[in-house]
Structure 1
């Protein structure tokens, strides 16, 4: 069976790798760089810069304690150069990984026709096709929007902006605000509705007061015009600084128009097997909408690949853990399928938990905050919002318990590794059981 995968982001790369492991004939086509937005323009760039800001935050903290005296000299140009150098290494490894299972990797812009795909003037027939072309930043229809930056421009900046106006109120807006505020920019976040609607109000309050206290957040505010060095809000306020759009993503689905059915928002319509309305065409990742997260894209790509190879399986989106990559991580998960009544809900909030990387935060009392909603009748977790240096691993572990529908008593024999999983111990064994 000849399989073609268009797009090498998390969905396409992992999908093609899975197909190769299953012994299938695979051609992976990539327009730009292998590994897609995640490595080249998105979360890996954010994580790399956040590693720097965490170091700055820790250095400032230890300086304030008085037993270390150091002065930081930050070169944004050198940071960018090293990020690019690392990206090049990872691209090479990602290509070798795909080729190691017998896959062919081709670079060029693909065009889908009836029963074949053409790239660089050459035509390839397929038995199965996976479209994993991802998404790009959405730019709202605002006068002067051409002056605004997006995540695609982070590695193109010559230096740290003196002032930055981030338009958008979601996770990306918060992460960019944290990075440039820590690096020394004067940052405004302009949200047309509420800021960080994805997390609870108590968690949001902690983020604003303790993690990004220097960021000025304007809620329920629209930008009416963007200029090269300022933005104008709908109430007439002028905010000096470069504009940065963090206003969501739009699918790269143009390649599929007229080939498969699209949703009203131009995402590719798929079922739970990642199959389109055309029998042998599948789609996965950001181009299908939904959760635009690397682990979800990987899951979708592998699901599509297995179905293409004749191993039927379905994707499930329940209890998807998410995080804000900040100087202290904020992670959260919710069981959307919970049937818990209001009377059976019990919410417990606790201060940050001593765990990995938390020791030197204790002196200043900013070790984080965790809020857990339990289903006390069925002895299960409904929802978690956790702020701690270890929240990403904590919530990932606990989301698995939720997704597998485990009773909390099943966690009773869990033996933690001190201090790395102390948070799990406190949340489940000490707090509830």
Structure 2
């Protein structure tokens, strides 16, 4: 076996997103000599082109309704207008600030950063874009995922979530392809900013995998807000017209004229071009890096975490996996990440949040279940004369009274669910929820008043 001291680094990380940065920092803290390579910007999908800038757009879009509702609370609101360039630039400036913090974190932890494409050219050897070669005892693949474009003529005229934060002008007519969380989040954002939004989905439902009652409620509310949906409509052809607009042709439906087409049709693991297969790393059919419970690949000293493994495509999961990898390999403490009972949220208008089993999943897995719901109009909506209703749902195992799922749609649902997810993860019972005194007046109190 080669002496570890003969390598340039103990750990070389390819990809400086949330998972890679956490792994690098923790491994360095355990005494490892660490380097990381990133061909784009430090921070990865979440910080640069994902959850952070998107959540800031969500905040910005909420003011459209808040300004209207303010009048019912006694505020006199004058003429208002929205400036896309002002919000866009503020968001991008915040992204740059956060990128700097990530870079400083790596520097503070003595991690060497190579701002370059990197690929494997041998079992322990990495080549950078300029031809420089580096050796490492262990290699971590943390390159994340990349948006998928459908294979249809004219697809190049559409954009993905990577480019949406950089739009020069705000579009008046937007078509969003897809039915998942990215599609529904941007549908709400663009709609609140005043665009005419049409969501086109090749299947017959939105948000597959989420509780059916909750996603149906979002569909109803979205349609009431003016968002249009076309289901079972595959794309056939996209044409760019003389005035710069798009003519989008769908199978079995009338064409749609739009100023912007956003593809939100999923993300694929970004494993191509890294030289993985040449050194024996096994990949799944979709390009995901195959790993075991400790994030180890088919090659003993090569590991992978985050979206490139396609286990659970969520930033906190990538962070947890990166931390566990570093503790396992360099901290002398083997750690497995528990991928069950992970809380999830969709920052739609209103937001959705859920943890644990949906009603359908519980019935399939447990057989006998009890369902408790609260369908109510939040106090703020009542005074604002807004008819939008929240829906909270609890799924309980009838055999032992354990709460196995919580699902909700309504204002601040993600903020409320984070604490409630602890109870579900801990296996608490419906009786224990009932024994907890309500915090009144709040929306969250509905969780301990469910009948």
TM over 0.5: yes
Cα distance between partner residues in 2 of 1:232 and 1:167 = 12
Secondary structure in 2 matching 1:118: strand
- The farther-off stretch of 121-130 and 216-225 is 121-130
The counterpart of 2:126, out of the listed 117, 125, 131, is 117
| 1:39-50 matched pairs, under 5 angstroms | 39-50=47-58
Cα distance between partner residues in 2 of 1:308 and 1:416 = 45
> Structure 2 stretches of 5 or more lacking a match?
5-9, 241-245
| 1:90-239 matched pairs, under 5 angstroms | 90-114=98-122, 115-119=124-128, 120-193=130-203, 194-211=205-222, 213-228=225-240, 229-239=246-256
| 1:283-362 matched pairs, under 5 angstroms | 283-309=304-330, 310-335=332-357, 344-352=368-376, 359-361=380-382
Structure 1 equivalent of residue 393 of structure 2:
371
Taking a change above 3 Å as real, the CA distance of residues 318 and 341 of structure 1, as seen in their structure-2 partners, is: closer
Cα distance between partner residues in 2 of 1:96 and 1:44 = 18
Taking a change above 3 Å as real, the CA distance of residues 157 and 339 of structure 1, as seen in their structure-2 partners, is: closer
- 8 Å CA contact 2:403–2:427 kept in 1: the answer is no
Cα distance between partner residues in 1 of 2:277 and 2:366 = 45
Cα distance between partner residues in 2 of 1:19 and 1:403 = 28
Cα distance between partner residues in 2 of 1:284 and 1:387 = 31
- The farther-off stretch of 282-291 and 299-308 is 299-308
Cα distance between partner residues in 1 of 2:158 and 2:430 = 48
Structure 1 equivalent of residue 449 of structure 2:
430
Cα distance between partner residues in 1 of 2:16 and 2:438 = 37
Cα distance between partner residues in 2 of 1:174 and 1:283 = 30
Taking a change above 3 Å as real, the CA distance of residues 162 and 424 of structure 1, as seen in their structure-2 partners, is: closer
Structure 1 equivalent of residue 19 of structure 2:
11
Taking a change above 3 Å as real, the CA distance of residues 96 and 72 of structure 1, as seen in their structure-2 partners, is: same
Instruction: Please give the per-residue CA displacement for 1:378-410, whole angstroms capped at 9, x wherever unaligned.
Output: 111222221122211322222222223334455
Q: TM-score, normalization: structure 2?
A: 0.88
Secondary structure in 2 matching 1:328: coil
Shift of 1:416: 6.9
- 8 Å CA contact 2:438–2:449 kept in 1: the answer is no
The counterpart of 1:257, out of the listed 252, 277, 282, is 277
- 8 Å CA contact 2:145–2:268 kept in 1: the answer is yes
Figure out how many residues of one structure are paired with residues of the other and give that number. Answer: 426
- 8 Å CA contact 2:11–2:35 kept in 1: the answer is yes
- 8 Å CA contact 1:3–1:26 kept in 2: the answer is yes
Shift of 1:112: 1.0
> Structure 1 stretches of 5 or more lacking a match?
none
Shift of 1:148: 0.7
RMSD, matched Cα? 2.3
Shift of 1:267: 0.6
